[in-house]
Amino acid sequence: MEISSVITPIAIILELAIFIMGLHLGYVLKKTYGYLFAFTFLVFALFDYFGTLGIPANILSVLNIIAILSALAGMYQIIKENAPRVKYNTL
């Protein structure tokens, strides 16, 4: 038995758990980046699932870049929200 046949289903379950947590963050806590991370990990779960079905690498690479861009947008929103406000001293 290949280790990927054990690891991949576990990874998909964990990715779907993060998807649900992201939805909670977006809906209940009203954080837009929660939806972005939910979308990211849903796409990652689809990426893993489609990979087990033998979907061509070209399609998987498109899914991968979509998920990465979604995560990047979410991280940007977190940084923007939590970045310290810079105050400049004037003479």
**What tens digit of pLDDT does each residue of 22-68 get?**
999 999 999 999 999 999 999 999 999 999 999 999 999 999 999 99
Which residue has tokens 């923007």? 80
On whether the CB atoms of residues 23 and 34 are closer than 8 A, the answer is yes
Residue 28 falls within a domain, yes or no? yes
Residue 89 falls within a domain, yes or no? no
Q: Which two tokens stand for residue 28?
A: 């209940």
Q: Write the DSSP assignment of 2-70 as a string of letters.
A: -THHHHHHHHHHHHHHHHHHHHHHHHTS--HHHHHHHHHHHHHHHHHHHHHTT--HHHHHHHHHHHHHH
Task: Quote the number of domains for the chain.
Answer: 1
Range of the domain at 31: 4-82
Residue 87 falls within a domain, yes or no? no
Confidence of residue 88 (pLDDT cuts 50, 70, 90): low
Q: Average of pLDDT values for 63-88?
A: 88
Q: Give the separation between CA 42 and CA 76, rounded to whole angstroms.
A: 19
Residue 29 falls within a domain, yes or no? yes
Residue 72 falls within a domain, yes or no? yes
Q: Average of pLDDT values for 66-82?
A: 94
Q: pTM for this one? A: 0.86
Residue 58 falls within a domain, yes or no? yes
